[in-house]
Structure 1
Amino acid sequence: MEPTAQRILLTIGGGIAAYKAADLCSKLAQAGYQVQVVTSRAATEFIGDATLAALSGRPVVHDVFDPRFPLGSHIELTREIDAMIVAPATANLLAQFAQGMASDLISTLYLQNTSPVLLAPAMSDPMWNHLAVQRNVQTLREDGCHLVGPEDGWLSCRVKGTGRMSEPVDLLLALESVLKDHC
């Protein structure tokens, strides 16, 4: 009997860095992980369901009240997962997580989840360096979240700064490290 693949919940926030989530999804699947993708409504403006479903082999989920999950999507999607990845983790998602808000599916999943959480922040340099965002980041670190990035470099707002989402290969390596330490 083959061992069961580790289950990863890949949640995608609404930022231009969402395009990197397709590569991350592909790398996770190729590494043997079972990937379930959840996107925020804003993320669908940047990346389509067809791409993510093809790469993960599963339908993408958006809604708290998805009829495919009679017990609630937040309950069923977090059952027996090995880790939750939020990439990109927008300033909005970081704030919701830090404040314990459950105003959409991703924030509700975060509160329901008991497995390790990897956050891959992505936003503009001024936003990343804002005191409110840094307070939220500190809270999330204290809560046990694993932050990967953000990186310095060229940002979508056509300037250089800090706020670039880490590369998918770096997120995969961070996940492997977290899962190894968590076992």
Structure 2
Amino acid sequence: MNIVLGVTGSIAAYKAADIISRLKKLGHNIDVILTESGSKIITPLTLQTLSKNKVYMDMFEEITPQEVKHISLAEKADLVLIAPATANIIGKIAHGIADDFLSTVVMAAANQAPIYIAPAMNTNMYENPIVQENIEKLKSLGYQFIEPKESMLACGTLGKGALADVDVIVDIVEGSMK
């Protein structure tokens, strides 16, 4: 299966390395899109080494003139997974904002591949009525959510908002193939 993995600027971005590693061991091809804020937490080199593919960050950097990469990646995707997903990317998608590589791929893939979103953020952010409204809107449009867990968060708060366990994420991706 061809999986497009979006990695955003949550502190949980480092867990993307484990997600990639486990999905690769299961035989999947992983194309990674790393947001600018995500690159402040985990490097493109780490994700490229694990995925064995170029990591995409800049939607205006075209690799070949014969294709528009954000469209060709969307068409190639059997599944799109955003893990971790920040309130920012959830809000962008919910409101049709496509202003970076990840959001443009999601917009282009939404009608042809399942999209799984695994939120990871502070409890207060996750429980914010605007974020919850955005999540409900996306669910009503067919987007799948992998619920965050309750845990001690990076900010020192105990609450819901931690990225789901990597095992849970990988199991859900695997289960979607059946």
Fold shared, TM-score > 0.5 on shorter chain: yes
Aligned position for 2:74: 78
C-alpha deviations, 1:43-81, integer Å up to 9, x for none? 000001111111100111101112204322211111221
Q: 2:150 aligns with which of 149, 152, 155?
A: 152
Does 2:45 align with 1:60? no
> What TM-score, normalized to structure 2?
0.95
**Consecutive unaligned residues in structure 2, runs of 5 or more:** none
Q: Could you tell me how far apart the structure 2 residues matched to 1:162 and 1:134 are?
A: 13
Q: How does 1:130-145 map to 2 (within 5 A)?
A: 130-145=128-143
C-alpha deviations, 1:102-145, integer Å up to 9, x for none? 11111111100020011000000000000000000001101111
Identity %: 33
Amino acid at match of 1:153: S
Q: 2:106 aligns with which of 106, 110, 132?
A: 110
Q: Could you tell me how far apart the structure 2 residues matched to 1:160 and 1:110 are?
A: 31
Amino acid at match of 1:28: L
**Consecutive unaligned residues in structure 1, runs of 5 or more:** 1-5
Compute the RMSD of aligned alpha carbons.
0.9
Structure 1 ranges of 4+ moved more than 2 A: none
Secondary structure at the aligned position of 1:79 is classed as: helix
How far residue 179 of structure 1 moved from its aligned partner, in angstroms, is 2.2
Does 2:99 align with 1:99? no
Amino acid at match of 2:62: P
Secondary structure at the aligned position of 1:120 is classed as: strand
Secondary structure at the aligned position of 1:27 is classed as: helix
Does 2:102 align with 1:125? no
> What TM-score, normalized to structure 1?
0.93
Q: How does 1:165-180 map to 2 (within 5 A)?
A: 165-180=163-178
Alignment size in residue pairs = 175
